Amino acid sequence: MRPPERRIVFHRPWVGVEEEARCTGALRALRLVGNGPEGKRFQERLRALLGGWHVFFTPSCTAAFEMALMGLDLPPGAEVVCPAFTYPSMTNAIVNAGLTLRMIDVDPGTFMIDPTLLPAACNARTRAVVVVHYAGMGARMDEVNAFARVRGLVVIEDAAQGIGAAYRGRPLGTLGDLGCISFHATKNLTTGEGGALCVPIEHLARRFEILHEKGTDRAAFLRGEVDKYTWVDRGGSFVQSDLLAALGLAQMDRLGEINRRRQGVARRYLDSLRDLEAPGAFALPRVPEGTTEPNWHIFALRVDTARRDRFVKALKAEGIDASTHYEPLHLSPFARSRLGTGPGLLPVTEEICGTLVRLPIWPQMTDEDALDVVRAVRKVHVGLA
Ligand SMILES: Cc1ncc(COP(=O)(O)O)c(C=O)c1O
């Protein structure tokens, strides 16, 4: 049993003197509102990282979803397909936009959208498909995009967990039509709370910069294109403060090292636990085909359903803050009462949610920390066999 001060927490953001200096600088210069010098610089850095896509820094990934749906102007009642193995951010945005949510099952190997299920999930009212990239790995985008192109569907990527990760060499969040990223404190790059909407095309970006700024042409005003700004379209309060953009700039300088260190922890886990693998009882995560740069946002292994909750509890008792993950969204109280969903509807999602165990993974974990986690996992695995 580890003493409380040596407990291995589930996650700890890596924030140091560089972040302090950037934030203090922004604070002293009174750069508090958004889309000022820090905001512009952060969005430009993101844009460079994301292959030249236009980037809007938002209060959260959830806000980026809301902005994306607002900009798409889908007709009321249009259907949007979204995996049920996810966080209720996108599903909320869909419901709030007056659209019809159609939940879909996932691929048992990757925990991400199974493109072969799309034909049955789509109908004449379907207008968009949401792809959730899980754990800093890429979903099967080639197949999703090919299907969407034939059917005229918009592909929205939930790349909340995907910063710095790539699929076939292209950054997650820039593979479909619109991409959304999170900078929540749990994410690889954090601004505490925060997110980004990624937009590929200039004319769409012009529309989104108005939505971003509460329906005004403030962005054009800041560029000196108009001498005052006013209400020109729908919009929302989607701008994030320059103070947090300053934090993001310092984090951006660290991102490469953050992701390298996370990859190192993942490698240690994979190398040291490989021999425990047994079909149906213990499975390590795999980097799916096509993922060229996993950022290891999550390290999720699977154990059999009968042991899963006891497994997590026993790891906690060993001083290791392991965790389960999503509850199936189609079994949530809201979905059951408002959408009429229930058990058995999406069996792969139910199976994954009942078997998943996330191990601590964060950039400042030492190899000794990782080995302590390994020892605890081995002990618990044998103890609960
Ligand atoms: C897949 C996924 N999408 C969206 C979100 C929400 O991100 P945010 O808190 O920035 O709105 C999360 C949060 O963890 C997530 O895991």
Q: How many of the other CB atoms lie within 10 Å of CB of 230?
A: 10
In the numeric block, the tokens 């995009």 are attached to 145
Residue 78: which residues within 8 A CB-CB, separation 6 or more? 99, 100, 125, 126, 127, 128
Structure confidence at residue 6 (pLDDT) = 81
Task: Tell me the residue type at 154.
Answer: V
Structure confidence at residue 56 (pLDDT) = 98
Does the beta carbon of 191 lie inside 6 Å of ligand 1? no
Does the beta carbon of 216 lie inside 6 Å of ligand 1? no
Contact between 253 and 17 (Cβ < 8 Å): no
> Rounded CA gap, 291 and 136, in Å?
9
Q: Which of 154, 206, 192 is nearest to 176 (CA)?
A: 154
- Quick one: fold of 17-249? Aspartate Aminotransferase; domain 2 (3.40.640)
119-155 as b/e: b if 16+ CB within 10 A: eebbeeebbbbbbbbbbbbbbbbeebbebbeeeebbb
> Rounded CA gap, 218 and 141, in Å?
35
Structure confidence at residue 80 (pLDDT) = 98
Q: DSSP string of 117-182?
A: GHHHH--TTEEEEEEE--TT----HHHHHHHHHHHT-EEEEE-TT-TT-EETTEETTSSSSEEEEE
The three-class DSSP label of residue 358 is strand
- Quick one: fold of 255-383? Aspartate Aminotransferase, domain 1 (3.90.1150)
Helix (H) or strand (E) holding 379: helix 367-383
Structure confidence at residue 202 (pLDDT) = 87
Distance of CA 74 to the CA centre of its chain: 23
The C-alpha angle 44, 64, 133, rounded to 5 degrees, equals 90
pLDDT tens-digit profile, the chain (385 residues): 667 778 999 999 999 999 999 999 999 999 999 999 999 999 999 999 999 999 999 999 999 999 999 999 999 989 999 999 999 999 999 999 999 999 999 999 999 999 999 999 999 999 999 999 999 999 999 999 999 999 999 999 999 999 999 999 999 999 999 999 999 999 999 999 999 999 999 889 999 999 999 999 999 999 999 999 999 999 999 999 999 999 999 999 999 999 999 999 999 999 999 999 999 999 999 999 999 999 999 999 999 999 999 999 999 999 999 999 999 999 999 999 999 999 999 999 999 999 999 999 999 999 999 999 999 999 999 998 7
- Please list the residues that pair with 302 across neighbouring strands: 283, 356
Structure confidence at residue 1 (pLDDT) = 61
Instruction: State the span(s) of the chain assigned CATH 3.90.1150.10.
Output: 255-383
In the numeric block, the tokens 């003197």 are attached to 17
Does the beta carbon of 62 lie inside 6 Å of ligand 1? yes
Instruction: State the span(s) of the chain assigned CATH 3.40.640.10.
Output: 17-249
Distance 275 CA to ligand 1 centre (A): 33
Does the beta carbon of 161 lie inside 6 Å of ligand 1? yes
Structure confidence at residue 2 (pLDDT) = 67
Does the beta carbon of 158 lie inside 6 Å of ligand 1? yes
Closest approach atom of ligand 1 to CA 60: 10
pTM metric for this prediction:
0.96
Structure confidence at residue 77 (pLDDT) = 87
Does the beta carbon of 86 lie inside 6 Å of ligand 1? yes
> Rounded CA gap, 142 and 128, in Å?
16
Distance 356 CA to ligand 1 centre (A): 18
Distance 152 CA to ligand 1 centre (A): 27
Contact between 323 and 10 (Cβ < 8 Å): yes
